[in-house]
Amino acid sequence: MNKVLFVCLGNICRSAMAEGVCRAELSRRGIDGIIVDSAGTSDWHIGDAPDARAIEAARRRDIDIAGQKARQICDGDFDEFDLILAMDGSNLAKLRAAAGEHRRGKVRLFLDFARDLAVREVADPYYGGADGFDDTLDLLDIGVRALADHIVTTP
């Protein structure tokens, strides 16, 4: 596995933070050669930086996502990426429909890697307060650690 794409609705909160958390975790573990990116299923925020609350919450954990720019997933992503991870069921359904039958196996729900968690979806913190971004980061941390374990153990 060489390329991982995190996907949410607008690519300014959950998937942007997941990209940053994943880069930090892979670096912490000394895992090289994995390309990590993020995208949204909608076109609402193309070219925008992540939400200021996401940037601040990540910064407090020494993760810099300020330079990221939102983008919308495109058809080529389904060929380019080995693993496309949706933050919730709604985005998962959109991704599976867009992937087509032959690429659908690359698309998974992100928190499926964190089997011990009772929650399966990463809720969107956009309409809530700043503390929701910390809660989201907590979930992303757990999921990314499980994903990194999977990367390390998958030939």
Residues forming the active site:
8, 14, 124
Question: DSSP labels for 34-56?
Answer: -EEEEEESSSTTTTPPPPHHHHH
Q: Alpha-carbon distance 72 to 64, whole Å? A: 21
Report the first-to-last Cα separation within the chain, whole angstroms. 8
Token readout for 121 is 């979806």
Q: Alpha-carbon distance 40 to 45, whole Å? A: 9
Q: Alpha-carbon distance 5 to 77, whole Å? A: 8
Q: Report which of 86, 98, 75 is spatially closest to residue 15, judged by C-alpha positions.
A: 86
